[in-house]
Amino acid sequence: MSDVVEKTLSALPGLFDNVTQTGAAKITSGLKQLIRSITELTSKHEEEKLMKQELSAMKEQVSSPNTSMKQMREVMVRAMYCEMLGYDASFTYIHAIKLAQQGSVLEKRVGYLAVSLFLTEGHELLLLLVNTVLKDLQSTNLIEVCMALTVVAQVFPKDMIPAVLPLVEDKLSHPKEIIRRKAVLALYKFYLIAPNQVQHIHAKFRKALCDKDPGVMTSSLHIYLQLIRESPDGYKDLTGSFVAIMKQVVGGKLPMDFYYHNVPAPWLQIQLLRILSLLGREDQSTSEQMYEVLDESLRRAEMNHNITYAILYECVKAIYTIHPKAELLEKAARCIGNFVLSPKINLKYLGLKALTYVVQHDAKLALQHQMTIIECLDHSDFTIKRETLELLFRITNAQNVTVIVEKMLDFLRGCGDEHTVIHLVGKVAELAEKFAPDNSWFIQTMSDVFSIGGDSLQQDVPNNFLRLLAEGSECKEEDDELRLFAVDSYLTVLKGDASHLPQHFLQVMSWVLGEYSHLQECVDQREVIRLLAKLLDQRSVSSETRVWILSALTKISEGQTDLILELAESLSSSQDTVLRQQAQELRHLSRDSQLQECVLPRGAPWDSMEVDSSLSFLDGFVSEALAAGAAPYKPPHQRQEELSEERALNLEPYSFSLPVSLSSCSITDRQSPPLLSVSSGLSGNSTELSQKEGSSTLILEGVRRVWGKDGYLPQKETAATAPPVDEPSIAVHPSGQQEVAERIETQPEPSTRNQDKQQLASSLFVGLGTQSSISLLGKSEAPPPRFRKKPRPHESSSSSSGTSERSSDSSSRSSRTTTDSFLYGSLLEEEPVTSTSTTTNGLSQNKHTEGDRRANTSQILGSDMVIVRPNTIQDRHPPSASSDLTALLPSEIKDLPHSDVISLTSDPSLSLASCRMFRDEALLLVIFICNCTDTVIKDVAVQLTCEELETASLRGNVVDCLEGKSTSVCHYALLMDEPHTNVSFTGTVSYQTQPGHTNTLPFSGTLSTVDFIRPLVVTTEEYGKLWLSLSHDVKQNLKLLTDAGGDPLKTTLNALKDALQLHVVDIIGSEGIVACRLLSGAPCLLHCRVNGSALAMWLRSPHPSLPDCILYHCQRALAEH
């Protein structure tokens, strides 16, 4: 290739001569001069000198008032070149903006280019650009509009989007398709940066999707891909349209402009395939719509060109993602064969990737290509090798784990890329934990992992390993054997040269030695102490590791007072204060054996440690501080939002008022803290406190949530509640292994394959046969996560015992129970009922006795309702005699589960009562309007307002004529979008007793989140997958109910299930998983784990405040129990 460079270089002078003759070249001649001088230079030093001169000359030029725009443009091009070479030309930035602002079109173009190259999204000068962009967006010159749209998509940050959004939106209906296309892409970019700011234009996206220009439609698919990725369910109705578009494209209906190397719109095809695979995933009926077109695009893409392979690859992926169809799968599998067997290395690479994706569904495919895989394993290309290992990782089982892990470790030893090492080392650790055949192999592999992984290793690898050692399994002997083995092997390591070992490894070793070296009787404890003390002296050991080592020494110091005192003495002059303190503690402990026994009881069960994660002991301190005038705590996200509000800029131009305020409005909306605070997550006693003392309630609420954040929790606590469902497992059925082995043997063996490879193959692909059929049915992208991390490393098959324990209440969806007690309590306290004797339809005017009432309630509510109703409330509030009202419900909703009827308010003419009915998709608030008089009441109209809730539908809110002693029913279907702990609604009823004389009767009431929660029925596998995809989590320790005899976990979960509408997915051992959803669809997953006498609850949801809400209700439910 060097001759090409020489040729071009020799042509250089001629080139200049040519260009300098044309007029355009004069302008950039400064640049050409610069480039020429740079190429003539021989050293970096000379270049720097030249650039210094050049930059100072430019500086002078830009600051001179005589420089014309034209010259400025030339300077700007030079400045771009300097910046590309890595020299700072920031003094020109402001001039770039000026050029874009004031220049003519061609200067503008350079100005905008310079701006987009110089100013990244956060740059403060960008603000100066807003006006220019606004002006250009409204220009009649197409080129100016194009330039403005380009720069908007390139550099505009989140807080500047509102300023231009309305104008960009307008461009969606521009007559020129190029403008529409750019506008759609700019909106796509906005969507990526700030999705909620473009929420209101979703309807216009649909318009773009239906645009007559295929280019605009293609651009809109970018947005749809994102939207569908986030919530595929919302867009199933578009499947037909996407399939139709795909059919047209594949069928060659597009104009020739959209062809690329004779393939019709490949980019469009691939985008559609991705969208279809997202839509068809785990959805049989949707998938069925697309089989035909997938088949066709497989068939059509037969030309031997990269672009057809790109389409094929996406096609195969789509076929394996959607609901399976045998015929298509077969074709796709054949297609993968074409990739894998291709001599072109790029295709081989993609083939490996496709296999990696596909073996999760059908492991047999890996068997077909085993020889290719083996060849790729020894390939000289690093990328191919790595991809092969990814593939092997997916097909690992208990039989081939040793070979595969060995291959991975070999690769890692020769790999220099830190990121790859971290990535793969994690996988090795995962495999080792899951499939380790025996103790010695496991410990040895983990040692390799720690020494290869180095200090960049992810923290959870050592954490998981130590947890595994510490928690142990049911069989104590086996645990001790493993621990003993670890102690032995680490002692050997430490006796050698330990100076090069990574810190993580040293920390693990010191912890293990501290905890378990007493198990090894033939080792002198003094020897262990000496080895650890030797580490302390090494300079390469970090101070964090020193703390680990000292903790270990503290644990084994018993009886070795002389050595320890000596050590403590030497450390007491250390510069590190933490070390000094630990040394001091060490000295005290070693002098006082009683204290030592108390602080560090040997052999105490690991999980007996109790951590008060709610920090309730600080409540008193906090209330004192608050009383003394301290500011209440605000959670970080709230602080962040407030901060951003302060910083928010007013980008509204003074001249015209755009609907900019709309977005800023939505920001302030979100700002107002959700109502969830009332002791959300307060420990039991402080809840009571907050209820009793009206004044301090408010303040306490604010404070509490801080501590719930895990940042404040001690490290141990986090480890204890570490993710239980983070580990996928492949079900292994040893019965199938022989069959597969036979199959391998009986395969025809061409003589070219050498013996070694055959052996390797049989060791790599053993045990792959049977899983295939199972996982094909499962059709899950990741292997089903194991519910609970098995403490025993060498137990390969997953929790078979656990599944048998599965609680059988998956059908609990239908049973609806209410937590009326406290809700009603608070409701009635807030809203004292003025009239206790309400007349109902002339039927029951007398007060029910308590016994009557009970009978009534149970009769009305049917068998699946449980009403918890403390006597106190009933005593205080005489029954409102309205329970018979439920008989008046319209027939279509009569059978729904509902709460009992409570009286809202009344006046001499009307009395109002309400009842909540729980529909699957909404909450029905039923309002009974009873005419208490004997005369007719006219024009009764109900109006209900609630800011936090959304009214989906209403019925019967206007009644023309209400007869005397009769009742009218109106009902509202309500939805809750943002979770709030409690929501209050207000409303008025207006009516006319005499013509022209309108009375109004106000009423109000409260609803709770619980009313809007429904059980979410999922399987354990779905739960595991969902769990990993959710982002917002909250952890908290709750009270564990211990009823007579029963399993406390089950009792507690049942209590919660009854109080809130939850679905108990599974209970395995000491852990239970529970799922529910908000009516709007946001799921919330709860993971409960018995931790001593507490229930460690971990909630996850896509919604930031939903876990808090649910946690609050769980706490209240348990407190009331």
Partner 1 sequence: MMHFLLLFSRQGKLRLQKWFLPLPERERKKIVKDMTTMVLARKPRTCNFMHWKDLKIVYKRYASLYFCCGLENQDNELLALEILHRYVELLDKYFGNVCELDIIFNFEKAYFILDEFLMGGEIQETSKQSIAKSVEASDMLQETMEEYMSKPAF
Q: Considering beta carbons, is residue 4 or 522 the nearer one to partner 1?
A: 4
Cβ atoms of 278 and 230 within 8 Å: the answer is no
* C-alpha–C-alpha distance, residues 36 and 556, integer Å: 73
Measured in degrees and rounded to the nearest 5, phi and psi for residue 250 equal -65, -35
Site for partner 1 in 507-566 (CB under 8 A): none
Q: Considering beta carbons, is residue 151 or 567 the nearer one to partner 1?
A: 151
Does residue 71 bind partner 1 (CB under 8 A)?
no
Q: Considering beta carbons, is residue 308 or 967 the nearer one to partner 1?
A: 308
Site for partner 1 in 38-57 (CB under 8 A): none
Coil, strand or helix: which one is 1105?
A: coil
Q: Considering beta carbons, is residue 125 or 178 the nearer one to partner 1?
A: 178
Does residue 85 bind partner 1 (CB under 8 A)?
yes
> At 1036, which helix (H) or strand (E)?
strand 1032-1039
Q: Considering beta carbons, is residue 182 or 853 the nearer one to partner 1?
A: 182
* C-alpha–C-alpha distance, residues 207 and 325, integer Å: 33
Query: Using CB under 8 A, which of the segments 58-66, 175-183, 536-544, 836-844 binds partner 1?
Result: 175-183
Least Cβ distance, residue 223 to partner 1 (angstroms): 10
Q: Which of 127, 131, 215, 652 binds partner 1 (CB under 8 A)?
A: 215
**Nearest CA among 99, 43, 89, 42 for reference residue 67:** 99
- What contacts 685, CB < 8 A, 6 or more positions away? 616, 619
Does residue 966 bind partner 1 (CB under 8 A)?
no
Q: Considering beta carbons, is residue 150 or 1051 the nearer one to partner 1?
A: 150
Least Cβ distance, residue 186 to partner 1 (angstroms): 7
Does residue 181 bind partner 1 (CB under 8 A)?
yes
Cβ atoms of 130 and 92 within 8 Å: the answer is no
* C-alpha–C-alpha distance, residues 980 and 425, integer Å: 43
Query: Using CB under 8 A, which of the segments 143-151, 440-448, 702-710, 722-730 binds partner 1?
Result: 143-151
Does residue 12 bind partner 1 (CB under 8 A)?
yes
Least Cβ distance, residue 129 to partner 1 (angstroms): 15
Least Cβ distance, residue 96 to partner 1 (angstroms): 12
> At 193, which helix (H) or strand (E)?
helix 177-193
Does residue 349 bind partner 1 (CB under 8 A)?
yes
Check residue 767 and give left, alpha or beta (phi > 0: left; psi -120 to 50: alpha): left
- DSSP string of 804-818? HT--SGGGTTS----
**Single-letter residue type at 737:** Q
Does residue 320 bind partner 1 (CB under 8 A)?
no
Does residue 117 bind partner 1 (CB under 8 A)?
yes
Q: Which of 41, 125, 130, 178 binds partner 1 (CB under 8 A)?
A: 178
Site for partner 1 in 352-381 (CB under 8 A): 380-381
Cβ atoms of 513 and 556 within 8 Å: the answer is yes
Q: Which of 188, 242, 765, 928 binds partner 1 (CB under 8 A)?
A: 188
Does residue 121 bind partner 1 (CB under 8 A)?
yes
Q: Considering beta carbons, is residue 267 or 441 the nearer one to partner 1?
A: 267
Query: Using CB under 8 A, which of the segments 120-128, 723-731, 747-755, 825-833 binds partner 1?
Result: 120-128
Q: Which of 205, 309, 985, 991 binds partner 1 (CB under 8 A)?
A: 309
* C-alpha–C-alpha distance, residues 139 and 147, integer Å: 11
- What contacts 802, CB < 8 A, 6 or more positions away? 787, 788, 1068, 1069
Q: Where are the alpha helices (DSSP H) in 959-1037?
A: 1020-1029
Q: Considering beta carbons, is residue 415 or 519 the nearer one to partner 1?
A: 415
Q: CB-based burial of residue 307 (10 Å sphere; 0-12 exposed, 13-18 middle, 19+ buried)?
A: middle
Does residue 100 bind partner 1 (CB under 8 A)?
no
Q: Which of 14, 122, 694, 832 binds partner 1 (CB under 8 A)?
A: 122
Least Cβ distance, residue 177 to partner 1 (angstroms): 9
Q: Where are the alpha helices (DSSP H) in 341-400?
A: 345-358, 364-368, 370-377, 382-394
Least Cβ distance, residue 523 to partner 1 (angstroms): 44
Q: Which of 87, 235, 291, 382 binds partner 1 (CB under 8 A)?
A: 382
Q: Which of 50, 77, 409, 415 binds partner 1 (CB under 8 A)?
A: 77
Tally the residues of the chain: 1121
Cβ atoms of 84 and 49 within 8 Å: the answer is no
Does residue 395 bind partner 1 (CB under 8 A)?
no
Least Cβ distance, residue 27 to partner 1 (angstroms): 8
953: tokens are 């539908």
Query: Using CB under 8 A, which of the segments 84-92, 433-441, 633-641, 758-766 binds partner 1?
Result: 84-92
Least Cβ distance, residue 307 to partner 1 (angstroms): 5
Please tell me the number of Cα atoms within 13 Å of 702 on its side-chain side.
15
Q: Which of 51, 153, 443, 491 binds partner 1 (CB under 8 A)?
A: 153
Q: Which of 180, 189, 587, 1113 binds partner 1 (CB under 8 A)?
A: 189
Least Cβ distance, residue 383 to partner 1 (angstroms): 5
185: tokens are 């892409």
Does residue 139 bind partner 1 (CB under 8 A)?
no
Neighbours of 598 (CB within 10 A): 10
Site for partner 1 in 261-290 (CB under 8 A): 265-267, 270, 274
Which residue carries 């919530």 as its tokens?
A: 231
Count of chain residues binding partner 1 (CB under 8 A) = 78
Greatest pairwise CA separation for the chain in angstroms: 112
Q: Considering beta carbons, is residue 419 or 997 the nearer one to partner 1?
A: 419
Per-residue contact string for residues 895-934; x = within reach of partner 1 by CB under 8 A: ----------------------------------------
* C-alpha–C-alpha distance, residues 728 and 434, integer Å: 9
The dihedral formed by the CA atoms of 544, 469, 401 and 784, expressed in degrees to the nearest 10? -100
Site for partner 1 in 222-261 (CB under 8 A): 222, 257-258, 260
Does residue 120 bind partner 1 (CB under 8 A)?
yes
Q: Which of 57, 128, 307, 547 binds partner 1 (CB under 8 A)?
A: 307
Q: Which of 4, 203, 777, 1044 binds partner 1 (CB under 8 A)?
A: 4
Q: Considering beta carbons, is residue 233 or 257 the nearer one to partner 1?
A: 257
Least Cβ distance, residue 306 to partner 1 (angstroms): 5
Going by their DSSP bridges, the two strands 1083-1091 and 1013-1015 should be labelled as unpaired
Q: Which of 18, 46, 192, 584 binds partner 1 (CB under 8 A)?
A: 192
* C-alpha–C-alpha distance, residues 173 and 177, integer Å: 9
Least Cβ distance, residue 336 to partner 1 (angstroms): 14
Check residue 758 and give left, alpha or beta (phi > 0: left; psi -120 to 50: alpha): alpha
Q: How far apart are the first and last CA of the chain?
A: 81
Q: What is the per-residue burial (b if ≥16 Cβ within 10 Å, else e) of 888-909?
A: bbeeebeeebbbbbbbbbbbeb
Site for partner 1 in 397-436 (CB under 8 A): 417, 419-420
Q: What is the per-residue burial (b if ≥16 Cβ within 10 Å, else e) of 70-91?
A: eebbbbbbbbbbbbeeeeebee
Q: Considering beta carbons, is residue 349 or 511 the nearer one to partner 1?
A: 349
The dihedral formed by the CA atoms of 194, 197, 199 and 201, expressed in degrees to the nearest 10? -120
Does residue 961 bind partner 1 (CB under 8 A)?
no
Query: Using CB under 8 A, which of the segments 216-224, 467-475, 797-805, 985-993 binds partner 1?
Result: 216-224
Least Cβ distance, residue 4 to partner 1 (angstroms): 6
* C-alpha–C-alpha distance, residues 391 and 265, integer Å: 31
Q: Interior CA angle at 760 toward 754 and 766, to 5°?
A: 130
